[in-house]
Amino acid sequence: MSSSSQYSSNLGVFRAIIVGWLVVNVPAIVIIGSSLLIAAAIEPQAWWLFLSVGFILGWTWWSKSVPR
Q: Residues 3-50: pLDDT tens digits? A: 555 656 776 888 988 988 999 999 999 999 999 999 999 998 999 999
List helix spans (H) across the chain.
Answer: 3-42, 47-65
How many domains are there within the chain?
1
Residue type, 64: K
**Terminal Cα distance for the chain, rounded:** 30
Q: Is residue 18 part of a domain?
A: no
Q: Is residue 36 part of a domain?
A: yes
pLDDT of residue 16: 87
Between 68 and 34, whose confidence is greater?
A: 34
Q: Is residue 6 part of a domain?
A: no
Q: Which domain holds residue 30?
A: 23-68
